[in-house]
C-alpha cells in the first residue's frame, strides 16, 4: 500500500516526529555524541522558534513531541538531521546517511493528545544493549531544566486535568506512572483511522485538511474486494466513534467502550452495548455511498438483516445516547422521535452520531 503524501507545513501545529537510524549505523555511541545531538537540536529549534515538549533518544531511534514555530517544522528537522549526520561522520571518520530516508510525522490535537503523547514517548524502551539512551521523563520528575526543552504546557495540561488537591509532583507520578493503553499506543503509532497523518477528533482532522485545501475522501479502487471496502469503512467509523467516546465519557468508560468496539468484536455477533449501534452506523455509511451491497454487508458481519438494523432502532439508540450524555457537559433534551418512556438524552449527541455517518 503506498504511503500517504506528507501534509504541507502547518504553522504552530503540534507534531509527533520519529526517525530511525539507518541499518548498520548507530545514532549515538557515547555520552559525548548524545550531548552533541542535544546541542545541535537546541540550536536548530531556537532558530526556528519551535518548542520541544518531550523526547526519547537511543542508539537506534529518536522521538520528539514538538510544536512548530515561525519556520516550517519538517524542513527545520531535516536541517537538524543533515547537520547531525555531518558532524558525527566527521567525528567518526565515516561517510553516508545516518538516518533512514524518511521520518514518520503525525500532526496531533494538543488539548486531547499532548499528555498521552508525552506519556507514550516517556514509556519507549531502548533497544537491547543501547548505550547511551535518554528521555525527558527524568527532567520532568526532578523539575529540572534543559536547554531547548519546554515543560510548561505539559505541566499546565496536567494541572487542568487533575481535579484533586494533590501536589503537581504527585499528579505527574500518578499519570505518567501508568503505562499507555494498548489502543492508545496503536493510534499514536499509526495515526487516526480517518487519516494516518493526523491524530485527533473528527472536527480537528477536518479543520487540518480544510486548512491545507484538502478534503477527506474514501477512495474505492476497482480491484478492492467488498470485504476490503467494508473493512476500511468500518475502521473510519470506529475511529470517529472513539473520538466521540473520549469527548463524552469519563476516561474509564471511554477506555472500556474503545477497547470493546474493535473490528473483531463487531464481527463476533455480540450484542454488548454499543456494538449494535456501531455496526448499524457502518452499514448505513456503506449503503448510503453504494460502496457495497446490503447482502455483502450482512455476510461481512454474519448477521441477519433485522439484527444488523437493530442498532438504529429508537429504543436502543436512546439507551446508548443516554450513556454518552452522562459524561458530556451539556444539559439533556428529549429526542423528538423517542418512544414514550424513553430516557432524556442530549440532542447534540444525536447530531454527532448522524454526523459520523453523513460526514457532516
Which pLDDT tens digit goes with each residue over 257-300?
A: 888 888 888 888 788 888 888 888 888 888 877 788 888 888 88
pLDDT of residue 342: 35
Confidence of residue 84 (pLDDT cuts 50, 70, 90): very high
Assign residue 212 a region: left if phi > 0, alpha if psi is -120 to 50, beta otherwise? alpha
Average pLDDT of the segment spanning 204-231: 68
Mean pLDDT calculated for residue range 317-344: 44
Res. 319: pLDDT tops 80: no
**pLDDT on residue 100:** 84
Per-residue pLDDT, averaged over 19-40, amounts to 90
Check whether 102 has a pLDDT greater than 70. yes
CATH superfamily of 14-183: Transposase IS200-like (3.30.70.1290)
Q: Are 107 and 188 in contact (CB under 8 A)?
A: no
Q: What pLDDT does 332 receive?
A: 37
Percentage of the residues of the chain whose pLDDT score is greater than 70? 76
pLDDT tens digits along 179-193: 999 989 999 998 887
Contact predicate 123/51, CB 8 Å: no
Q: How confident is the prediction for the chain on average, in pLDDT?
A: 78
CATH 3.30.70.1290 in the chain, residue ranges: 14-183
**Residues found in the chain:** 360
Residue 163, pLDDT above cutoff 70: no
Q: For the stretch 296-321, what's the b/e string if a residue is b when 16 or more beta carbons lie within 10 angstroms of its beta carbon?
A: bbeebbebeeebbebbbeeebbbbbb
pLDDT higher than threshold 60 for residue 231:
yes
- The pLDDT value recorded for residue 309 is 59
- pLDDT at residue 57, rounded to an integer: 93
Q: Which three cell numbers stand for residue 13?
A: 501545529
Of 205-209, 224-228, 305-309, the range with the lowest mean pLDDT is: 305-309
pLDDT band at 36 (very low <50, low <70, confident <90, very high): very high
- What's the pLDDT score for residue 358? 47
Confidence check: pLDDT of 328 > 80 = no
* pTM for the full predicted model: 0.60
Q: How far apart are the first and last CA of the chain?
A: 28
Amino acid at each position: 500500500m503506498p504511503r500517504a503524501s506528507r501534509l504541507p507545513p502547518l504553522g504552530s501545529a503540534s507534531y509527533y516526529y520519529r526517525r530511525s537510524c539507518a541499518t548498520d549505523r548507530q545514532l549515538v555511541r557515547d555520552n559525548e555524541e548524545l550531548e552533541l545531538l542535544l546541542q545541535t537540536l537546541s540550536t536548530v529549534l531556537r532558530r526556528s522558534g519551535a518548542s520541544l515538549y518531550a523526547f526519547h533518544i537511543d542508539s537506534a531511534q529518536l522521538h520528539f513531541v514538538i510544536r512548530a514555530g515561525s519556520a516550517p517544522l519538517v524542513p527545520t528537522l531535516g536541517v537538524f538531521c543533515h547537520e547531525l549526520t555531518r558532524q558525527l561522520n566527521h567525528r567518526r571518520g565515516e561517510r553516508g546517511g545516518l538516518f533512514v530516508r524518511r521520518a514518520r510525522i503525525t500532526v496531533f490535537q494538543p488539548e486531547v493528545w499532548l499528555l498521552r503523547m508525552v506519556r507514550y514517548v516517556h514509556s519507549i524502551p531502548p533497544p537491547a544493549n543501547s548505550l547511551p539512551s535518554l528521555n525527558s521523563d527524568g527532567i520532568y520528575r526532578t523539575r529540572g531544566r534543559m536547554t531547548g526543552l519546554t515543560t510548561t504546557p505539559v505541566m499546565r495540561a496536567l494541572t487542568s486535568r487533575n481535579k484533586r488537591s494533590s501536589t503537581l509532583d504527585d499528579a505527574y507520578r500518578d499519570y505518567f506512572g501508568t503505562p499507555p493503553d494498548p489502543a492508545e499506543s496503536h493510534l499514536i503509532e499509526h495515526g487516526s483511522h480517518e487519516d494516518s497523518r493526523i491524530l485527533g477528533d473528527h472536527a480537528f482532522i477536518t479543520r487540518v485538511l480544510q486548512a491545507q485545501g484538502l478534503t477527506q475522501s474514501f477512495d474505492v479502487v476497482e480491484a478492492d474486494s467488498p470485504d476490503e471496502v467494508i473493512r476500511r469503512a468500518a475502521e473510519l467509523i470506529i475511529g470517529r466513534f472513539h473520538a466521540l467516546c473520549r469527548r463524552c465519557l469519563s476516561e474509564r468508560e471511554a477506555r472500556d467502550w474503545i477497547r470493546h468496539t474493535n473490528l473483531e468484536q463487531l464481527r463476533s455477533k455480540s450484542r454488548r452495548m454499543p456494538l449494535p449501534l456501531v455496526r448499524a452506523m457502518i452499514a448505513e455509511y456503506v449503503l448510503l455511498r453504494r460502496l457495497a451491497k446490503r447482502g455483502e454487508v450482512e455476510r461481512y458481519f454474519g448477521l441477519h438483516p433485522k439484527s444488523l438494523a437493530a442498532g438504529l432502532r429508537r429504543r436502543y439508540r436512546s439507551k446508548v445516547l443516554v450513556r454518552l450524555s452522562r459524561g458530556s457537559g451539556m444539559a439533556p433534551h428529549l429526542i423528538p422521535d423517542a418512544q414514550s418512556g424513553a430516557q432524556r438524552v442530549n440532542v447534540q449527541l444525536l447530531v454527532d452520531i448522524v454526523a459520523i455517518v453523513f460526514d457532516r
